[in-house]
Structure 1
């Protein structure tokens, strides 16, 4: 069990931070409400999405169900892969990065799987209630993912000569996301940055052959 300790602690820590932040947002903020943390650069902005990470959408109710089922299958596969990596002693950094991805994916699955059943609807005028007497706002696997981290760091306008978007306003970074999305992004980024370290190929020494002596 020794090799599982750090990945387990990392996964549990990410899940706790992710879920506690979402619970606080749901119970204390109305939809669209926001708090400015660092001026206009870092804002806690409450929004929900029916789709993928960073607010991307995916095909209505049928698409929502398909996405939830895909997430569950993906997390199951990642979890098994993580177990395999620990068991076969893969690079510790790689295992921890995969743990981040696993925790992030699991965090968003909890929202889409259970939040519709345990919360009332969040609206622009009313905060959600936990375990409302009238029941949740949706059914199993049809919950919405809670997002709140917003970093509109750079605002401006594309120059007139810029192709397609010339003269239009731009904003970086526009998507609103959550701790789970961040864990996935950081995990993937670190794997890409350190892939040479994680996947070192063994250097195979050229075979030495005994030279034959050809007698005349």
Structure 2
């Protein structure tokens, strides 16, 4: 149950921050946090990461529904194992996916607000849900690498040492 609570907390933080941005800032308004490097910027995204696939609302709703159901199914399979990193990672991805899903379902767009500038390059604006998804996927990769180390392929079967 703890993993669903983590997913719910990620979802609540995401939705709370988006609500604050949507209700307290004008669209395109910026608040510098760390000079020109990090700004809170009120932005709306009708597409996916980096603004691709603009206005494909139903595509995202169908795909996200499938992904969320798959994550829940897999989380049920792995949550009682000794490995705690994978279920944690899945819970972060789940919370983020549901957060962006709700935005697309209700408003047809996602509220983004975290902007980072690296010199003249501006990284695409994102939100807490996106961050949870990225951190969750990174943890899944780390878990896979650790699993390969924990369970190396038995090379002695073919006489290789």
> TM-score with structure 2 length normalisation?
0.86
Mapped to 1, the partners of 2:79 and 2:101 lie a distance apart of 23
Whether contact under 8 Å (1:91, 1:198) holds in the other structure is: no
Alignment match of 1:57 (pick from 40, 52, 57): 52
List structure 1 segments (4+ residues) > 6 angstroms apart after TM superposition.
none
**Which structure has the bigger radius of gyration?**
1
Alignment match of 2:135 (pick from 186, 195, 211): 186
What are the equivalent positions in structure 2 for 1:65-76 lying under 5 Å apart?
65-76=58-69
In the TM superposition, what is the alpha-carbon distance from 1:40 to its structure 2 partner? 0.8
In the TM superposition, what is the alpha-carbon distance from 1:198 to its structure 2 partner? 3.4
Alignment match of 1:145 (pick from 110, 116, 121): 110
Alignment match of 1:80 (pick from 73, 77, 90): 73
Mapped to 2, the partners of 1:206 and 1:18 lie a distance apart of 49
Tell me the equivalent position of 1:106: 98
Q: Deviations over 1:135-177 (max 9, x none)?
A: xxxxxxxx2111000011x214xxxxxxxxxxxxxx0x42000
Q: Which has the higher contact order (CA 8 A, sep 6+)?
A: 2
Alignment match of 1:198 (pick from 147, 152, 159): 147
Q: What SS is found at the alignment partner of 1:176? A: coil
Q: Deviations over 1:61-81 (max 9, x none)?
A: xx3211221111111111111
Whether contact under 8 Å (1:43, 1:151) holds in the other structure is: yes
Mapped to 1, the partners of 2:10 and 2:52 lie a distance apart of 24
Alignment match of 2:6 (pick from 7, 10, 14): 10
Tell me the equivalent position of 2:30: 34
Unaligned 5+ runs, structure 2:
none
Report the count of equivalent residues: 156
Q: Deviations over 1:20-69 (max 9, x none)?
A: 0001111111110111111111100011111113x423154xx3211221
In the TM superposition, what is the alpha-carbon distance from 1:184 to its structure 2 partner? 0.7
Alignment match of 2:126 (pick from 177, 187, 193): 177
Q: 1:86 to 1:48 in 2, by over 3 A?
A: same
Tell me the equivalent position of 1:93: 85
